[in-house]
Amino acid sequence: MREPLVHFLLLAALVFAAYGLVTGQQSATGTIDVTQAKIEQLAGLFAKTWQRPPTAEELKGLIDDYVKEEVYVREALRMGLDANDAVIRKRLRLKMEFLNSAEAEASPPTEAQLQAYLDSHPDTFRQAPRVSFEQVYINPQKHEPDASAAAKALLGPLRKDANYAATAGDPTLLPAAMPLTDQRGIAEVFGDDFAAEVTNIVPGQWQGPITSDIGLHLVKVNERVPGSLPALKDIRPAVEREWMNDHRNVVEQQRFDDLLKRYKVIVEPLSADGSPSK
């Protein structure tokens, strides 16, 4: 009698006994209509899982299981077993939100709507300035006590000979050249300080040294593309995705506001410390 499982079984038996006294043990009535569409759905789910259609016996088992589930669900709802169940409440809310999402996605945006969205949210889609550059690394530990002076001594040869960069400097795993990349992308490789400085260098000539997380660098910026707002045709998928997210939120809020009008909400006042009043 001390086992928790025994207590649970006894409590369950009492619940069903009490329910039987109240309802007179009347069973739920109604028709369970297993339509052809439902049968095709069951068979389709089976085929998707097992990569083959069900046999006649397996299909009968699927139908029997569906009927069993339907009976239990209807009886559970009739008995009120869904009440105050956090899991069921969460699933029902998710289903309602899914219906709202489906309603929002049923009407795709027009080109005019996407263009208007792009025009009203330029900062969301604006491309940051990008630069392409070459770099020569100077390891401070190999050029003590004045690595900066050693780096500056390389500027002359680099500016005179376009091929000198291939052999100049110290070995490093960092790339010798970067294609057009924005400041965030450069920072991921070279660090924030390096990225902030290199994106402001005038293209065309070796300059430096500038500091990264691991040492010093001489840099030649080859191209600098200023930030710009792309045309809709160039970023349409991104604009449509953001438009749909906002549209889905608007539709869901409107739908909720309409449903909320059907209810009178009473919230009991809180105590002075913000806890529920007793």
Confidence of residue 3 (pLDDT cuts 50, 70, 90): low
Confidence of residue 6 (pLDDT cuts 50, 70, 90): very low
CATH node for 128-225: 3.10.50.40
Confidence of residue 275 (pLDDT cuts 50, 70, 90): low
DSSP state of 200: T
**Distance set, CA 24 to CA 21, 27, 80 (Å):** 5, 9, 15
* Predicted local distance difference test score (pLDDT) of residue 28: 47
In this model, does residue 229 exceed pLDDT 70? yes
Are 226 and 138 spatial neighbours (Cβ–Cβ below 8 Å)? no
**What is the average per-residue pLDDT within 234-249?**
93
Kindly give, in sequence order, each residue whose CB lies less than 8 Å from that of residue 184, ignoring residues fewer than 6 positions away.
128, 195
* Predicted local distance difference test score (pLDDT) of residue 276: 62
When the pLDDT of each residue in the chain is averaged and rounded to a whole number, the result is 86
Half-sphere exposure of 34 (CA within 13 A, CB side): 17
Are 59 and 40 spatial neighbours (Cβ–Cβ below 8 Å)? no
* Predicted local distance difference test score (pLDDT) of residue 182: 93
Rounded-to-integer distance, Cα 80 and Cα 29, Å: 16
The set of long-range contacts for 141-147, using a CB threshold of 8 Å and a minimum separation of 24, is 142/170, 147/209, 147/215, 147/216
* Predicted local distance difference test score (pLDDT) of residue 44: 94
* Predicted local distance difference test score (pLDDT) of residue 78: 86
pLDDT tens digit sequence for 43-76? 999 999 999 999 999 999 999 999 999 898 888 8
Rounded-to-integer distance, Cα 85 and Cα 146, Å: 71
So where are the chain's domains? Answer: 4-83, 86-126+229-259, 128-225
pLDDT tens digit sequence for 128-175? 889 999 999 999 999 888 999 999 999 999 999 989 998 999 999 999
